[in-house]
Amino acid sequence: MDFAKLIDGKGGISSKYIKLTKQRQALSVAIIGGGPSGLMAAEVLIEAGYKVDLYEAMPTVGRKFLMAGKGGMNISNDEPIDVFLSRFGDHKSNLKGAIEKFSSLELRQWIYELGIDTFVGSSGRIFPSDMKAAPLLRKWLSRLRSSGVNFHLRHQWMGWVEGCNHLLIFDVQGNSIEIKVDAVILALGGASWPQLGSNGAWVPILTKQEVKVSPLRPTNCGFDVIWSEYFQTHYSGKPLKSIGISSNTIKEIDGFLKGELIITEYGLEGGVIYKLAAGLREEITLNGYAMIYLDLIPSVNKATVVNKITQDRGKQSMANHLRKQLRINGVKAGLLREIVNASDFSNAEQLCALIKSLPIKLVAARPIAEAISAAGGVEFAELDQNQMLVKKPGVFCTGEMLDWEAPTGGYLLTACLSLGRAAAMGVIASLK
């Protein structure tokens, strides 16, 4: 808004602005969902002068936000905007407008205005100076409350009174209540970490209204591998450090990715596999399994590996030879024994090839309840340019409940905040 236009000829506030403020204060906007998208939408709308009520099914808001910040609050990434947008794959065009208007630069300024400094890590990831989510959330909620946002906790949204987009039904500790609003923003999340509030219960409510919803699927998740009982018992919970991962079918991999994995009783977890989760999930859906290949010592080239393994080992066992020559021991040695046939251990050339490209068969993605985030959701074709449902005028959708996905690294949170802001701007444009 151009505030210069709000000043009248005598230096006071113009009657036009006073009238606009009164009109907006008379309009009630409900936001359902107290995650990052819903909170950002509330902030934009309250600053624009609307009456804002935020409804949350849980006893507190921002639960998943706090959980995501447990290991260090990664809020965004300092990549150039075109590289940043590429992380959203096929849906980058759907998120482009929102993210360009509230990118990492604007996000850092917004956090600074809350009284919190940020810094860029060596990987380009952006963090609050104290690396914590709780102080940021406390300051944010304090500002929202002092600005006039009304919070209604333990309010489970049940849908609409039939035939009325502006009459919402909530279950409040077993009692059904109806709330009349002028517009509503749905910010209900996906279905990952349902114990924190995002349980996908909204899907049948919207599909009943003939809104197309792409099935919710796990992403940024672990994968099942069929381990032997011995390997599972002895190595579950062990980290596979300094490995490379490659795939013959996933376009996101250029060569291989370096990182770390965790052996679990059911398979594999870890940041390096989360980056490939979308492609691996789709490959499993198509073929029933997906193959990845691990380089157990990516810092050593194959020629050096061959040279070291073919050296005379005397009476040493191959396990001791690998440990002394290539420092392959512990979980890496166990994984070799798990995957490699006994005959290949006596074939130096073949063993070298497997050390540099060990095949692992993934048979399933882990359940969505265990995933960091969810793919799928309300299809963008169901929304107009303001993020309003074409089939439900006055109803807007935002955040993770929309059909997009991204890897970890700050992309998820930036997109949720950007989409929340865009939905609020859509409401303002719609209610003018």
Q: pLDDT (tens digit, 9 = 90+) per residue, 141-187? A: 999 999 999 999 999 999 999 988 899 999 999 999 999 999 999 99
The stretch 267-274 carries a mean pLDDT of: 92
Q: What class has domain 3-219+374-431?
A: alpha beta
Residue 320: the pLDDT is 85
C-beta of residue 281 within 8 angstroms of C-beta of residue 218: yes
Question: Is the per-residue pLDDT at 126 higher than 90?
Answer: yes
The stretch 296-308 carries a mean pLDDT of: 87
Q: What is the DSSP letter of 383?
A: B
pTM, rounded to two decimals: 0.88
Average per-residue pLDDT for the chain:
91
Of 36, 155, 150, give the one whose Cα is nearest residue 411: 36
CA–CA gap between residue 390 and residue 380 (Å, rounded): 10
Question: Is the per-residue pLDDT at 253 higher than 60?
Answer: no
Residue 3: the pLDDT is 42
Ranges of each domain in the chain: 3-219+374-431, 223-365
Question: Is the per-residue pLDDT at 376 higher than 80?
Answer: yes
Question: Is the per-residue pLDDT at 430 higher than 60?
Answer: yes
Give the number of other CB atoms < 10 A from CB of residue 107: 22
Mean pLDDT check: name the lowest of 171-185, 282-296, 307-321, 339-353.
Answer: 307-321
Q: Give Cα separations from 251 to 69, 94, 248, 279, 304 (angstroms).
A: 30, 21, 8, 8, 29
Residue 24: the pLDDT is 63
Residue 307: the pLDDT is 85
Mean pLDDT check: name the lowest of 26-35, 129-138, 323-332.
Answer: 323-332
Mind listing the pLDDT tens digit for each residue in 225-243? Answer: 999 999 999 999 999 999 9
Amino acid symbol at 7: I
Pick the more confident residue, 265 or 325: 265
Long-range contacts of 160-163 (CB under 8 A, 24+ apart): 160/209
Pick the more confident residue, 144 or 272: 144
Residue 14 — very low, low, confident or very high, per pLDDT cuts 50/70/90?
low
**104-108-114 Cα angle (round to 5):** 145
Pick the more confident residue, 79 or 343: 79
Residue 15 — very low, low, confident or very high, per pLDDT cuts 50/70/90?
low
Question: Is the per-residue pLDDT at 259 higher than 80?
Answer: yes
Residue 4: the pLDDT is 46
Question: Is the per-residue pLDDT at 400 higher than 70?
Answer: yes
Mutual angle of helices 36-47 and 134-147, in 10-degree steps: 30
